[in-house]
Structure formats: structure tokens, C-alpha cells
């Protein structure tokens, strides 16, 4: 444009009417500035759009990964939030951009917002250990969402979001700092902007983006928190269902004991021995969780065996032995062909099979016997030996350990899978403790059942 203005024809016009030419020149100059400004702002907008697109793509990938690996029973809300924070925050090595430097993650405790500040360094999420506690009634920017007049003071989209840049209203950045709790400033330093998202019980406050914050930044946080809360809700509902399911399993196992000599504490102890052995074998968490609940079902088939056989003081006849042995098959029929009870069915049908053969009902051997059944078999034998029966007294731990590892003519170490026997040898003292701790006279059935079930689910790694 400048070349056009200074063309010979124009120069001539300037000579004739210099004042008019100067006005023309000024107008053209202004138009040029506007055009350049437009180009610059379009470039900035394109730049921003590109960053936003990259951010959205990153976040979609994060949410996709979290859904792909989602297990409602083992879902860890805290770990899920850590992962989101890791993806939201700018790394200290990265140049300033569309991501915040710090995030304060809080939850409501009475009238306070309590939480920790996070930042990202060398790809790792760092949590500043000092707990931040802010009174919801205090006159600080991040608590304005609790007050009626906060909309007047901050650009706000809805009741859940606050967006603020220091130069939107404050005279200088130093004055802006007065809006923040000193405990926050101590860790974050000079604050130039922030975005806050409030849900029912948590507040996420992101500080110091490398540019002006806007609705996009707030909606991004809101979306991620909503995603995490959605997974949490599904997980909580699944855990309630799972608890009810496990309680039913226990009730069924208890019903089967009504006719039998074995006690309620026997089934709980078998669960615990089986868990200890499975942990020693370094089995995956879902396997450990399942065997810790399903081992107790091993004798549910006895519900169909005549009480006179189950409690007969003398030796059983051949027919009675055959009938007794059918409890494995009866149990499998009770369970049926249900995917979630697959392990329970394996345990019920095969817990009397022996590693070297000679067991029942199908005389399976070695690797043909499911591992869960092999573990439960050893756990059941240990507890039967430790318990009083009409045909024998309760044996000590040492005597029982000797019978299992050396044999006594009835029981032989070859009955058990070598890996399971080795694991038992590593945890046998733990088994002795379990036997000591879990006795009928020490537990209140219903309460124990509920707490036990809850603990199983919550403690799953
Ligand atoms: Fe049995
Ligand atoms: Fe048993």
C-alpha cells in the first residue's frame, strides 16, 4: 500500500494539493494498520485454535484411555484425578501456553475448602504436601462462587465457573494479589489469572495460564471433572451391587453349613487362607479378590446331602461315601453356568481333586485342576485338620503343618500342586494367625460379614 501512495502519479497530486494528499496518506496508513492488526489477530486466533485443538485431542485421548481400562470395582477416584491433573498442567520445562502452572484441588469440609496444590515437573505430578484450608466465607477470589455478588466481580458463565484475568479489572497485578489467600500465593507466587470449577463437593482452581483465560479453559476443566465424577458414580453403584452380590454368596455358604459339622468361621478362614496363598503366588488382583470370596462356597453342594450322612458319628458305608462325594456336583448345579461365578464353580467341582490323582468327582490331575480349586483344597484341608470333628480332635498348627508337608498316610504332600504347597510353606504362620483370629465366638456374623465384604472391595490394589 505504501508503494501505491508513493507512485509518481500520487507524488504529482501531492505537489498540487499537499494537504489533501496528506489526509489521503493518513487514511491509507490507518487502513493499513487495521489490516495488519486484523492479520495479526487472525494469526493469533488461528494459533489459539491450533493449541485448543491439540488440547482437546490430548484430553479426548486421556478420557478414551480411562474408559478403556475402566474397572468399576477397582476404580481409584484419587488416581483418576491425578491422571487428569497430569494432563491438564503445564510442565515446568514447557514454555507458557494454554495450560496452567498450578492447580488447587479441594473438597468441601464443613465450611472450608480443603485440598492440595499440584504442579508438573519432568512429566511427574508433584503435590505440595501442605494442606490448604480456606474458609468458604472468606473474601478471596476462589471463594466468590459461594457468594451472591461474585458474578459482578468476575466474568462468569454459570454458577459452576469463575474466569478471571488480572487486567480485566484490577489497576495493577500487585493489587490483584490481594484477592488470594496468602497460603495459596505462598506456593503459586504472583497470580496473573485463574479458572475455577465447582461441582457438588469439589473445587478445581487452575492458576497462571500463559495467556488470557476464557470460557474454553473453564469448560475444559468442567468436562474433565464431569468425566471423572461420572466414572466415580458408576464405580460406586457397581460396588454397591458387588457388595450385595458377595453378601448373597456368604448367605448361601452359611445356608449350606446348617446341616454340616463345619462352622461359619471355617468358611471365612478358608477364604483368608486362600487369599494369603494367592497373594504369595502373586496372582492378579481380580483373582485374589475372587478367591477371597468364592473359596467359602466349596461345600455349598452339601445343602443337598442328607444330614444323617453329614453328621453320622461312625464310618460311612460305600453308598454314603458316594452320596457325600456328590456334593461337588450338586454344588456346581446350584451355581450354574454364570460368568461371574466361573471361579466359584471351578472351586466347588474340583476342591476334592488331588494333584497326583485319586480325588473326586472326576479324578482330575495336575494342571487339569483349576488353580483356584488347588488353592482352596489346601486351605480346606489345613482348616479341617485344625478343627475338631466327630472323628478327630483339633490338631495344633505344627502337627497340621507336618501332615500337609510330610504326610500321615491319609493326607500327602503329593495331593497338592507343588507351587501351591510352596506358597503355603511361605505363609503357614499367617494361616496359624488367621485360625487364631477367626473363631465363631469372636465374630458377630452379620456385622463381620458386611465389614469383611466392604474391606475386600475397597482394599483391592
Ligand atoms: Fe467338600
Ligand atoms: Fe470345608
The CA-atom distances, in angstroms, between 303 and each of 271, 307, 324, 441 are: 19, 9, 11, 24
| 141 and 13 together in one domain | no
Pick 16 or 447 by higher pLDDT: 16
Environment class of 244 (CB within 10 Å of its CB; exposed 0-12, middle 13-18, buried 19+): exposed
* Of 233, 266, 301, the domain-final residue: 233
In this model, does residue 204 exceed pLDDT 80?
Answer: yes
Domain around 37: 2-64
Question: Does residue 252 form part of some domain?
Answer: no
Cell digits of residue 314:
461312625
Please tell me the distance from the alpha carbon of residue 142 to that of residue 115, in angstroms, as a whole number.
13
| 60 and 97 together in one domain | no
The pLDDT-based confidence of 442 (bands split at 50, 70, 90) is low
In this model, does residue 33 exceed pLDDT 80?
Answer: no
| 228 and 265 together in one domain | no
| 396 and 268 together in one domain | yes
Which residues fall within 8 angstroms of residue 115, CB to CB, at 6 or more apart? 104, 105, 106, 107, 131, 132, 203
Q: Name the strand (E) or helix (H) holding 209.
A: strand 202-209
In this model, does residue 45 exceed pLDDT 70?
Answer: yes
Comparing 108-117, 119-128, 346-355, the range with the smallest average pLDDT is 108-117
Distance 283 CA to ligand 1 centre (A): 24
Nearest bound ligand to CA 373?
1
The CATH number of whichever domain residue 305 belongs to comes to 1.10.3210.10
| 294 and 441 together in one domain | yes
Quote the pLDDT of residue 19.
62
At 37, give phi and psi (nearest 5°).
-60, -45
User: HSE of 39 in the Cβ direction (CA atoms, 13 Å)?
Assistant: 5
In this model, does residue 447 exceed pLDDT 70?
Answer: no
Distance 384 CA to ligand 2 centre (A): 7
Distance 123 CA to ligand 1 centre (A): 53
* Of 233, 250, 274, the domain-final residue: 233
Q: What is the pLDDT of residues 78-96, one digit of tens each?
A: 888 888 888 889 999 988 8
Residue of 356, 340, 353 lying closest to 380 (CA atoms):
353
Q: What is the pLDDT of residues 124-174, one digit of tens each?
A: 999 999 898 887 777 666 665 545 555 445 544 466 788 888 888 777 888
Pick 42 or 410 by higher pLDDT: 410
Question: Does residue 109 form part of some domain?
Answer: yes
Distance 244 CA to ligand 2 centre (A): 23
| 177 and 78 together in one domain | yes
Question: Does residue 392 form part of some domain?
Answer: yes
In this model, does residue 199 exceed pLDDT 80?
Answer: no
Quote the pLDDT of residue 227.
83
Question: Does residue 406 form part of some domain?
Answer: yes
Which residues fall within 8 angstroms of residue 297, CB to CB, at 6 or more apart? 249, 252, 253, 331, 335, 344, 347, 348
At 283, give phi and psi (nearest 5°).
-75, 155
Please tell me the distance from the alpha carbon of residue 444 to that of residue 451, in angstroms, as a whole number.
11
Quote the pLDDT of residue 324.
93
Q: What is the mean pLDDT of residues 404-414?
A: 93
Please tell me the distance from the alpha carbon of residue 156 to that of residue 136, in angstroms, as a whole number.
18
In this model, does residue 252 exceed pLDDT 60?
Answer: yes
The residues that bridge with 196 in the sheet, in sequence order, are 162, 205
Distance 291 CA to ligand 2 centre (A): 14
Q: Name the strand (E) or helix (H) holding 125.
A: strand 124-135
The CATH number of whichever domain residue 154 belongs to comes to 3.30.450
Quote the pLDDT of residue 202.
80
In this model, does residue 54 exceed pLDDT 50?
Answer: yes
Q: Cβ(310)–Cβ(259) under 8 Å?
A: yes
Q: What is the pLDDT of residues 315-363, one digit of tens each?
A: 889 999 999 999 999 999 999 998 999 999 999 999 999 999 999 999 9
SS3 408: coil
| 104 and 37 together in one domain | no
* Of 40, 64, 88, the domain-final residue: 64
Question: Does residue 241 form part of some domain?
Answer: no
| 212 and 350 together in one domain | no
Environment class of 347 (CB within 10 Å of its CB; exposed 0-12, middle 13-18, buried 19+): buried
Q: What is the mean pLDDT of residues 232-236?
A: 90
The pLDDT-based confidence of 457 (bands split at 50, 70, 90) is very low
Distance 243 CA to ligand 2 centre (A): 23
Question: Does residue 247 form part of some domain?
Answer: no
Comparing 36-50, 407-421, 439-453, the range with the smallest average pLDDT is 439-453
Measured from the Cβ of residue 44, the count of other Cβ atoms closer than 10 Å reads 11
Q: Cβ(163)–Cβ(217) under 8 Å?
A: yes
Could you tell me where the beta strands, DSSP code E, fall in 144-183?
161-165
The residues that bridge with 204 in the sheet, in sequence order, are 105, 197
- State the Rg of the chain over Cα: 35
Nearest bound ligand to CA 385?
2
User: Peptide bond before 222: cis, by omega within 30 degrees of 0?
Assistant: no
Pick 434 or 15 by higher pLDDT: 434
Distance 433 CA to ligand 1 centre (A): 23
Please tell me the distance from the alpha carbon of residue 276 to that of residue 272, in angstroms, as a whole number.
6
The residue written with cell numbers 488353592 in the block is 375
| 148 and 46 together in one domain | no
Quote the pLDDT of residue 271.
96
Q: Cβ(337)–Cβ(356) under 8 Å?
A: no
Pick 111 or 336 by higher pLDDT: 336
Comparing 34-48, 176-190, 255-269, the range with the smallest average pLDDT is 34-48
Measured from the Cβ of residue 162, the count of other Cβ atoms closer than 10 Å reads 27
In this model, does residue 32 exceed pLDDT 80?
Answer: no
| 106 and 209 together in one domain | yes
Q: What is the mean pLDDT of residues 202-215?
A: 88
| 209 and 307 together in one domain | no
Please tell me the distance from the alpha carbon of residue 301 to that of residue 255, in angstroms, as a whole number.
10
Q: What is the pLDDT of residues 390-408, one digit of tens each?
A: 778 899 999 999 999 999 9
Question: Does residue 240 form part of some domain?
Answer: no
Distance 175 CA to ligand 1 centre (A): 77
Please tell me the distance from the alpha carbon of residue 403 to that of residue 416, in angstroms, as a whole number.
12
In this model, does residue 58 exceed pLDDT 90?
Answer: no
Q: How many domains does the chain have?
A: 3
Chain-wide mean pLDDT for the chain?
82
Nearest bound ligand to CA 257?
2
Distance 74 CA to ligand 2 centre (A): 29
Which residues fall within 8 angstroms of residue 101, CB to CB, at 6 or more apart? 89, 90, 92, 119, 188, 207, 208, 209
| 374 and 451 together in one domain | yes
Starting at the edge strand found earlier in the chain, the sheet holding 124-135 runs 124-135, 112-121, 100-109, 202-209, 193-198, 161-165
Q: Cβ(267)–Cβ(254) under 8 Å?
A: yes
The pLDDT-based confidence of 291 (bands split at 50, 70, 90) is very high
Question: Does residue 29 form part of some domain?
Answer: yes
Q: What is the mean pLDDT of residues 366-382?
A: 97
The residues that bridge with 384 in the sheet, in sequence order, are none
Amino acid at each position: 500500500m505504501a508503494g501505491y501512495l508513493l507512485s509518481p502519479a500520487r507524488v504529482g497530486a501531492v505537489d498540487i494539493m499537499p494537504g489533501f494528499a496528506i489526509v489521503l496518506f493518513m487514511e491509507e496508513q490507518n487502513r493499513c494498520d487495521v489490516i495488519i492488526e486484523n492479520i495479526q489477530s487472525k494469526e493469533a486466533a488461528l494459533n489459539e485454535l491450533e493449541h485448543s485443538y491439540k488440547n482437546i485431542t490430548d484430553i479426548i485421548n486421556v478420557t478414551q484411555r480411562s474408559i478403556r481400562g475402566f474397572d468399576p470395582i477397582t476404580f481409584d477416584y484419587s488416581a483418576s484425578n491425578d491422571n487428569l491433573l497430569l494432563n491438564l498442567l503445564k510442565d515446568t520445562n514447557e514454555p507458557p501456553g494454554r495450560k496452567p502452572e498450578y492447580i488447587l484441588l479441594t473438597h468441601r469440609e464443613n465450611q472450608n475448602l480443603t485440598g492440595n496444590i499440584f504442579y508438573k515437573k519432568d512429566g511427574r505430578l508433584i503435590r505440595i504436601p501442605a494442606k490448604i484450608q480456606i474458609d468458604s466465607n472468606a473474601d478471596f477470589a476462589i471463594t466468590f462462587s459461594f457468594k451472591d455478588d461474585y458474578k459482578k466481580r468476575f466474568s462468569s458463565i454459570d454458577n459452576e465457573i469463575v474466569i478471571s484475568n488480572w487486567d480485566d479489572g484490577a489497576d495493577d497485578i500487585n493489587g490483584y494479589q490481594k484477592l488470594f489467600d496468602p497460603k495459596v500465593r505462598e506456593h503459586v507466587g504472583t497470580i496473573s489469572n485463574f479458572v475455577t470449577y465447582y461441582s457438588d463437593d469439589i473445587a478445581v482452581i487452575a492458576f497462571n495460564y500463559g495467556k488470557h483465560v476464557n470460557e474454553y479453559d473453564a469448560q475444559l476443566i468442567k468436562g474433565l471433572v464431569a468425566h471423572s465424577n461420572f466414572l466415580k458414580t458408576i464405580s460406586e453403584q457397581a460396588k454397591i451391587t458387588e457388595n450385595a452380590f458377595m453378601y448373597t454368596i456368604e448367605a448361601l455358604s452359611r445356608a449350606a453349613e446348617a446341616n454340616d459339622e463345619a462352622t461359619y468361621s471355617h468358611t471365612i478362614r478358608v477364604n483368608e487362607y486362600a487369599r494369603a496363598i494367592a497373594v504369595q503366588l502373586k496372582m492378579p488382583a481380580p483373582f485374589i479378590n475372587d478367591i477371597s470370596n468364592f473359596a467359602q462356597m466349596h461345600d455349598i453342594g452339601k445343602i443337598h446331602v442328607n444330614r444323617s450322612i453329614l453328621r453320622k458319628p461312625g464310618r460311612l458305608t460305600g453308598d454314603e461315601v458316594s452320596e457325600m462325594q456328590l456334593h461337588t456336583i450338586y454344588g456346581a448345579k446350584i451355581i450354574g453356568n454364570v460368568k461371574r461365578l466361573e471361579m466359584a464353580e471351578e472351586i466347588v467341582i474340583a476342591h476334592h481333586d488331588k494333584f497326583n490323582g485319586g480325588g473326586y468327582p472326576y479324578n482330575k490331575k495336575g494342571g487339569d485342576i483349576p488353580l483356584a480349586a488347588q488353592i482352596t483344597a489346601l486351605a480346606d484341608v489345613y482348616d479341617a485338620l485344625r478343627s475338631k470333628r466327630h472323628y478327630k480332635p483339633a490338631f495344633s498348627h505344627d502337627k497340621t503343618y507336618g501332615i500337609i508337608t510330610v504326610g500321615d498316610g491319609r493326607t500327602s504332600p503329593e495331593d497338592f500342586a507343588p507351587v501351591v504347597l510352596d506358597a503355603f510353606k511361605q505363609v503357614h504362620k499367617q494361616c496359624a494367625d488367621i485360625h487364631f483370629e477367626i473363631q465363631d465366638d469372636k465374630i458377630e456374623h452379620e456385622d463381620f460379614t458386611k465389614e469383611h465384604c466392604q474391606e475386600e472391595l475397597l482394599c483391592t490394589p
